[in-house]
Structure 1
């Protein structure tokens, strides 16, 4: 189960059977794919660019598409630019994943005589609650050492879910922690460049600990860069939508 699929499931309102957020969601899904590739040590950051470490298939079709799109560039893309270039059908693809996993059911129904709307029926409320619980743990400060949990929390913020999950002034501190999850320690470019070559090195027992530490630092940098890119892209989309831009892709047809 990928971060993108979990994020999309969390975004569904089980009562209204529609997505709770839309405008920024696609950028968060792109960011989620980038985070997954970073956690799998398939990509690393070199400055603000995404460098492919291992272009072999991951076994997940959508992540493989994401990885291939990065590898196909003439030069490593900037994280923000890659996140902003939302892949066609991305949201629909992940709704398909959730459908295949039997986490949701998509049910079309008439809407205003000439239109249809697709209801997103949550079939696994326990899974949705579990995703929310992981974010709660980060928001409460209890799970900041869980990289996937922090990534999920940061992506929820990027998607605009903070105010949905934690509304009102009483929850301001919880929303702040979700925002902070998108920020990490800055890692020197020299460390990242050295880490990018790790796959080509024969690591012996005396250097393994140092190498593993560098890889963890590089992975963390990539994760936070991906989440920051998703946040930046979402904010940019928010400004452009007020001028008539923005992305579609919801359940209405």
Structure 2
């Protein structure tokens, strides 16, 4: 399993804090894909730029798709640019992939399947493996989860490349949250104008 797929599975688990917002999850998944591609030696980082290496298939459909989407010409793409470009709608792509591969299912009503967008994880080896990585606090997965606010403990023992990617992911998540907060404030101000306040 890849870090991105494990993160998608963990994000589907019922949590006391509620689900991860799709935009935030998409940024985290895009960052996890970079980390998976580094681990597969399909890319290397040159500063904050993603330099494609050998295009060897990883065996994971979405990760192979990510590898083929890399900018292959200099000056290459920065990690930040990748997060925003690749992350667009990525949480939906992973949710669909989990359902397509049988790792999630739609809850069934008494007579017909419910027509909600909600899916539930099935008991599978992939779910248990992701849960084990989560429970043991595997550093990369823990650091990505901390960026989403799912975990608080800092990760230790990370390489410079991993730290670079995680710092960029953290900044992107904060930027997205600032945009969300600004929108809430603007919407509230607009509502107040219409109400005559």
TM-score norm. by structure 2 comes to: 0.75
Q: Is structure 2 residue 34 aligned with structure 1 residue 34?
A: yes
Structure 1 residue 46 displacement after superposition? 1.0
Structure 1 residue 225 displacement after superposition? 2.1
Match of 2:130 in 1: 131
Q: Is structure 2 residue 157 aligned with structure 1 residue 158?
A: no
Go from structure 1 to structure 2 and tell me whether the alpha carbon gap of 1:131 and 1:58 turns closer, same or farther (over 3 Å shift).
closer
Matched residue count: 177
Go from structure 1 to structure 2 and tell me whether the alpha carbon gap of 1:72 and 1:107 turns closer, same or farther (over 3 Å shift).
farther
1:70 counterpart SS class: coil
Structure 1 residue 228 displacement after superposition? 2.1
TM-score norm. by structure 1 comes to: 0.60
Runs of 5+ in structure 1 lacking a partner? 110-115, 139-148, 163-174, 185-219, 246-253
Q: Is structure 2 residue 116 aligned with structure 1 residue 99?
A: no
Structure 1 residue 161 displacement after superposition? 1.4
2:118 counterpart SS class: strand
Runs of 5+ in structure 2 lacking a partner? 110-114, 185-197
Q: Is structure 2 residue 130 aligned with structure 1 residue 121?
A: no
1:118 counterpart SS class: coil
1:44 counterpart SS class: strand
Structure 1 residue 41 displacement after superposition? 0.9
Go from structure 1 to structure 2 and tell me whether the alpha carbon gap of 1:15 and 1:30 turns closer, same or farther (over 3 Å shift).
closer
Measured against aligned partners, the alpha-carbon deviations of 1:91-144 in whole angstroms (never above 9, x if no partner) come to 2221122123322113599xxxxxx63121121277545423323323xxxxxx
Q: Is structure 2 residue 152 aligned with structure 1 residue 242?
A: no
Structure 1 residue 20 displacement after superposition? 1.4
Match of 1:195 in 2: none
Measured against aligned partners, the alpha-carbon deviations of 1:27-56 in whole angstroms (never above 9, x if no partner) come to 100011101000001111111111112134
